[in-house]
Structure 1
């Protein structure tokens, strides 16, 4: 009997604990939702204050903007939203207004002491001000323990044209372990506007293929033909990824000196390299590679067949005629030819 009573008491305690826990969760949800509503309301009010200041007639006098100190953390969110709609002279005016209310100082403090999310937003905000103090804070953030903050700081630095040593950036961002991301590619493309020579040196001296891949991509999009020779030099590298990246870069530059690399790439053992070689042949217009490209319509890799069909169509003349002829075949080469021709007709 005592055993049954103990079971009953334990069950009662568990039921009571479940009810208490549920009440705590409900209360926490109510508090969280109320805080979110208050924050949303304040965000709208701060946004409205800034927009009204921007709409005031331009003069030598800075419009008076009153924003409570407690609302400064909201500015990072608001600034991100305004940047999507404010351009030209209005953006410069916005920066002046934000500086006058202490947004830059707050961002520097947040970048040093905030949470990961706050530090990331603060880095983006500091990219607006282009000041020595902000640049120093961003350089320090390149040593942040969290990779997202380091990348955000690098984005802000590169977008403002502040000088930064590429080897130091490679070390700070731990580049070379993972494939280059879009964000890293964007950073290096921004740097290419002012550091072509440094990128050329990095391409020649970097030990890791994935570092060289970023340099190739940035140099190609700089459309600086000094990069052609350097990219050709790595088009025969032992790394499949780097060989493919080199051909991708050569197709962007569109230089006729790429022909030997393209011809070599069309027979490369790695399918991504063959695909990029076919694409490069079509984009630059190497009509003399038509037969080699047509041979790739029978490749085992789908993407190689697809890029080869695209290239034949882009080459025009006999190559395009051959593609139309192959489209009549009941084979995988014929099917990929039909697909590309149908896409062209629908475009």
Structure 2
């Protein structure tokens, strides 16, 4: 019977491919990393692809040094597999193998490298990410925004607010708004114009993200903008605005939330009920009592909880 080594050297690429797939489960070899690294240089793309997939979770320097160059592989499927494997890295020290690719001439390579270092949160990625915000390719800008959002460096707030307000790509604007979630206290004031603009963005996904981000900054300065968002034509935006009003305990949002209690969409009614309970304003008691007859049983249950919370905290009609 052919050994795993024999199969890895077989002239038939299909045999080599299956051998690579079998490697993690073999008891013939204790150290499979060198064999997988060797398979990364196979002439057949399907073998390289399986080797890249099998190396997920390996963070030894020699493994990363071998796999990172395959971000430039001629085969698109191999590049995708390598990008996925690298994006699963957990150890910050692994970023050293990726830093040279953060400004690669190929946008696909650059975007994949930025995506891979995002969760590693290494300071060395900050400057390359800031520079990448000006890239012509939206994929690179999106990945760069992700890096900056994870790093939570206040020095990035100005760049992120600018791209959130003016980028031509809606998805870039959306992720930039989400990345601004780390802005709080004094910084929240500087991002408010960008959040306000985003709540009127032509794309509802951007408005939805902005409605969530306002609450994450913890700033009540965004409450008037959230109240206006409760009239958005898309229910997805209204739901997130209601949720944020509740998290901010925004008493100025009570009447907008009360109006949402009669909306045809039960999900919005639920969020409004929850938010009113979180805010605890006694003005909500009578409207909430009416929702005890809501056709949706979840709304009725949540209304009971909201009323109990308000009354427990001293609210009175």
Query: What is the TM-score with the length of structure 2 in the denominator?
Result: 0.68
- The answer to whether residue 130 in structure 2 is matched with residue 130 in structure 1 is no
Where does residue 56 of structure 2 map in the other structure? 80
Where does residue 300 of structure 2 map in the other structure? 338
Cα shift readout 1:73-128 (whole Å, capped 9, x = no counterpart):
4986676336xxxxxxxxxxxx6xx33xx334312433333723553256446974
- The answer to whether residue 42 in structure 2 is matched with residue 41 in structure 1 is no
Whole-angstrom CA distance in 2 between matches of 1:259 and 1:215: 20
State whether residues 177 and 210 of structure 2, in contact with CA within 8 Å, keep that contact through their aligned partners in structure 1.
Answer: yes
Whole-angstrom CA distance in 2 between matches of 1:121 and 1:273: 31
Whole-angstrom CA distance in 1 between matches of 2:274 and 2:200: 24
1:272 to 236, 240, 245: 236
Where does residue 263 of structure 1 map in the other structure? 227
State whether residues 53 and 85 of structure 2, in contact with CA within 8 Å, keep that contact through their aligned partners in structure 1.
Answer: no
Where does residue 210 of structure 2 map in the other structure? 246
Q: CA deviation at 1:136?
A: 2.1
Where does residue 204 of structure 1 map in the other structure? 165
Cα 1:184–1:322, aligned 2, differ >3 Å: closer, same or farther? farther
Tell me whether 194-203 or 104-113 shows the greater mean CA deviation. 104-113
What pairs with 1:141-220 in structure 2 (closer than 5 Å)? 143-144=107-108, 151-158=111-118, 159=120, 160-161=122-123, 162=125, 163-164=127-128, 165-169=131-135, 171-173=137-139, 186-187=146-147, 189-190=149-150, 192-193=152-153, 195-220=156-181
Whole-angstrom CA distance in 2 between matches of 1:170 and 1:318: 53
State whether residues 46 and 78 of structure 1, in contact with CA within 8 Å, keep that contact through their aligned partners in structure 2.
Answer: no
Whole-angstrom CA distance in 2 between matches of 1:264 and 1:227: 18
Query: Is the partner of 2:107 in helix, strand or coil?
Result: coil
2:72 to 103, 112, 115: 112
Any runs of at least 4 consecutive aligned residues in structure 1 with deviations exceeding 6 A, and if so which?
27-32, 342-345
State whether residues 273 and 288 of structure 2, in contact with CA within 8 Å, keep that contact through their aligned partners in structure 1.
Answer: no
Where does residue 103 of structure 1 map in the other structure? 63
Where does residue 284 of structure 1 map in the other structure? 248
Cα shift readout 1:304-338 (whole Å, capped 9, x = no counterpart):
21211111111124156346512432x33x74531
Where does residue 221 of structure 1 map in the other structure? 182
Q: CA deviation at 1:293?
A: 0.8
State whether residues 327 and 338 of structure 1, in contact with CA within 8 Å, keep that contact through their aligned partners in structure 2.
Answer: yes
Cα 1:79–1:242, aligned 2, differ >3 Å: closer, same or farther? same
State whether residues 76 and 121 of structure 1, in contact with CA within 8 Å, keep that contact through their aligned partners in structure 2.
Answer: no
Cα shift readout 1:57-88 (whole Å, capped 9, x = no counterpart):
xxxxxxxxxx5685574986676336xxxxxx
Whole-angstrom CA distance in 2 between matches of 1:31 and 1:75: 10
Whole-angstrom CA distance in 1 between matches of 2:132 and 2:29: 40
Q: CA deviation at 1:201?
A: 1.9
Q: CA deviation at 1:152?
A: 3.2
Q: CA deviation at 1:276?
A: 2.2
The higher radius of gyration belongs to: 1
Cα 1:239–1:32, aligned 2, differ >3 Å: closer, same or farther? closer
Gaps of 5+ in 2: 1-11, 41-49, 308-317
State whether residues 299 and 305 of structure 1, in contact with CA within 8 Å, keep that contact through their aligned partners in structure 2.
Answer: yes
Query: Is the partner of 2:272 in helix, strand or coil?
Result: helix
State whether residues 73 and 79 of structure 2, in contact with CA within 8 Å, keep that contact through their aligned partners in structure 1.
Answer: no
State whether residues 313 and 323 of structure 1, in contact with CA within 8 Å, keep that contact through their aligned partners in structure 2.
Answer: no
State whether residues 195 and 210 of structure 2, in contact with CA within 8 Å, keep that contact through their aligned partners in structure 1.
Answer: yes
- The answer to whether residue 263 in structure 2 is matched with residue 299 in structure 1 is yes
